[in-house]
């Protein structure tokens, strides 16, 4: 990406993934790596969307279920389930998704404002929508999906 990419008329790249058949995307610059699901350690008193923590090369990574966070019922993991590690304000957080999509590049002018939605963090995290040939891409702001303070408190026990 070049310096024009962050201007209102520039381009932005989204890493995409699926939840319940719906396409979602986040700024590719937030994504660090994609992992297969692995054994997780449960954290006492954690929120319902926190699946647990994993040990990744000696680093404890909290894993959040995006299904649960967005109000979508849980389902068993399958061969397409993945964990996307993203960096949010200096902290690496894993997000559990149904399946991985592709990297897509769009002009900022193609990103539409989401309609006024009434709800909690589930709808607040949707910051834009892009009309694609496959349907609607919902753009998420990962920082709005979680409270880092409450996540740190849960990890500190």
Residue 6 has pLDDT above 90, yes or no: no
More confident residue, 88 or 80: 80
Query: Is residue 3 very low, low, confident or very high in pLDDT (cuts 50, 70, 90)?
Result: very low
- Region for residue 66 given its phi and psi (left: phi exceeds 0; alpha: psi -120 to 50; beta: otherwise): alpha
pLDDT (average), residues 104-119: 84
Residues 44-69 pLDDT 10s: 888 888 999 999 999 999 999 999 98
Overall CATH class of domain 3-156: mainly beta
| Domain ranges across the chain | 3-156
């Amino acid at each position: 990406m070049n310096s024009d990419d962050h201007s209102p008329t520039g381009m932005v790249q989204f890493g995409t993934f699926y939840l319940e058949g719906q396409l979602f995307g986040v700024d590719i610059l937030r994504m660090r790596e994609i992992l297969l699901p692995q054994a997780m350690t449960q954290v006492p008193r954690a929120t319902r969307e926190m699946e647990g923590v994993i040990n990744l090369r000696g680093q404890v990574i909290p894993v959040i279920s995006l299904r649960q966070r967005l109000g979508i019922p849980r389902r068993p993991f399958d061969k397409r389930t993945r964990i996307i590690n993203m960096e949010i304000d200096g902290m690496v957080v894993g997000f559990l998704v149904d399946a991985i999509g592709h990297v897509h590049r769009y002009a900022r002018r193609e990103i539409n404002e989401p309609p006024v939605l009434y709800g909690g963090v589930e709808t607040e995290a949707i910051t834009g929508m892009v009309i694609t040939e496959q349907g609607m891409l919902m753009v998420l702001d990962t920082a709005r999906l979680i409270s880092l303070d409450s996540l740190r408190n849960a990890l500190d026990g």
